[in-house]
Structure 1
């Protein structure tokens, strides 16, 4: 199996002002003038990590990472005002124009697939290709799987722990109750609820238990932005019309892509990737037998690195594995 590329450091970091008082953390690494790729992280609200640079050959790629509104190192932290898919897609376009790029590859995971698809449907002329992992379409059924009647059947002990702060509620009532706790005035209750929300996501993410993933997601800074921003989106069904992405999939015509999805993804079941592939014939679907939701499950890493190598070769940025 192919591993991640060695660790590398950014050659530039900045805080990019956007609208409504938000400032986005943005970094660039790899080779200026290489094949541009922007990493669109998940959550909503999870932020980027240094590991995400390592899916790309730094000699071939111009690697762009950024933290979405309220996430990671963006400011203000965990802010939900002026934070909708419309705002985030506009931010992506601001980053592209700020960097003077004609087009780029979008590399999105989980919620990042949602945003990448929304961007590509709105700006197909600037979308060179898509590499998507752990597809999330943002429909009511997709939310119900994680917060009502799906993953709870596989992790019953963790589900009981998750619903305890909201008196056993589930579905939309659970999301709304968590939202109220996370946006309340009690600091202790807010942090406790954030860690419970983040723990539920972390235990569902990896094919095998990962203490590293659990520690990352439940760290206070990450947990607060992840839980506050996710509950903000999910109580409004991601601010999307039902089945919006698939209904507008004709705009993806001519955009090539790779969809990598774990067969045992407990956060985003693989039927979402399958349905997307049926609506997007220019994409190749790779269902990973030994993969869950996490980008860092070894079999998922292998598939994603092979995808970045394939597209680097396809677009002529150097010798790679086809």
Structure 2
């Protein structure tokens, strides 16, 4: 049981572990190769999973949100992270490179239309991809919505979330001189890209810890120490994207919602999400009439929150059973 909410742990709602029936490295140009895998039913409804971060990488647990008899599940590590190479690389690594990569995967796997499943940054990328290629998307499943807007960055890196987690916020900002506290994304950028591997690792772990400790509503305030290689890719890529405002114009995702007005979908949002507060999910739902907002009461940001896992599994099972209605 979850000690905070009394719910079952997330794993109790998931399907049993499964192994890929196909795994490959796909050359996407620009010196990048990305890891792609497929699992489940080769004849099932195709769904592509877009992981968070940027820089988080995909995990075996992500396969388990889909009935393996219903779904053909495609996972990949975005440029620079996970098993994709080169590791932690920011050159030729923008939102628009990732959108093009998703289309390369779809073409390589000979898929006409698929469902798109993404959380946090993965929700951002899902929306931008769908708005760019609306004819390729049959259904959108989004979790913990981030719209790549300045107010969202200000909340998380400007002190908003720190009002709820003051000890962890003090730890995060105290690593740089007070004179640099006005722009912590820029302050960390100078150190994450300093060329000093030990300094980069130290600040990468601090960057990752600040986010990880706030991910779950049941967090006790201790994030643990992420492995250096993972933290370096996660922090460098996330900082690179946030420094560049996600490579989109302010408010672009909401502005372009008419392009996906016809695409059905669901938004699953934790009420107490400290990383991506519910305001963005609500605003998205107001502009995207085909998207239904589900607020999970006792949940934060993480995919592994029990209530969020339960709702996503339920939704995807229903969509898989009615795949003909969605054209997949």
Normalising to structure 2: TM-score of the pair? Answer: 0.93
Superposed CA deviations along residues 258-280 of structure 1, whole A, max 9, x for unmatched, are: 10000000000001000000000
Of 217, 221, 226, which residue of structure 1 is paired with 2:229?
Answer: 221
Structure 1 distance, partners of 2:34, 2:118, is 17
Offset at 1:316?
4.3
* 1:30 partnered with 2:40: yes
Does the residue aligned with 1:149 lie in a helix, a strand or coil?
A: coil
Of 153, 165, 168, which residue of structure 1 is paired with 2:163?
Answer: 153
Does the residue aligned with 1:178 lie in a helix, a strand or coil?
A: helix
Structure 2 distance, partners of 1:206, 1:224, is 22
Normalising to structure 1: TM-score of the pair? Answer: 0.95
Structure 2 distance, partners of 1:221, 1:72, is 9
Offset at 1:210?
7.0
Does the residue aligned with 2:23 lie in a helix, a strand or coil?
A: strand
Offset at 1:315?
1.3
How many matched pairs? 314
Offset at 1:305?
0.3
Of 279, 284, 293, which residue of structure 2 is paired with 1:285?
Answer: 293
Which residue is equivalent to 1:194?
A: 204
What is the root-mean-square deviation in Å for CA atoms of aligned residues?
A: 1.5
Which residue is equivalent to 1:94?
A: 104
Which residue is equivalent to 1:247?
A: 255
Which residue is equivalent to 1:51?
A: 61
Which residue is equivalent to 1:236?
A: 244
Contact residue 206 and residue 297 of structure 1 kept, 8 A:
yes
Structure 2 distance, partners of 1:160, 1:71, is 28
Structure 2 distance, partners of 1:57, 1:214, is 31
Task: Structure 1 unaligned segments of length 5 or more: list them.
Answer: 318-322
**Is 183-192 or 60-69 further displaced after alignment?**
183-192
Structure 2 distance, partners of 1:126, 1:166, is 45
Of 185, 189, 205, which residue of structure 1 is paired with 2:195?
Answer: 185
**Is 132-141 or 156-165 further displaced after alignment?**
156-165
Does the residue aligned with 1:131 lie in a helix, a strand or coil?
A: strand
Of 200, 204, 208, which residue of structure 1 is paired with 2:218?
Answer: 208
Structure 1 distance, partners of 2:213, 2:243, is 22
Structure 2 distance, partners of 1:121, 1:280, is 12
Of 139, 149, 163, which residue of structure 1 is paired with 2:173?
Answer: 163
Structure 1 distance, partners of 2:62, 2:228, is 21
Q: How does 1:119-138 map to 2 (within 5 A)?
A: 119-138=129-148
Task: Structure 2 unaligned segments of length 5 or more: list them.
Answer: 1-7
Structure 1 distance, partners of 2:247, 2:101, is 16
**Is 306-315 or 23-32 further displaced after alignment?**
306-315
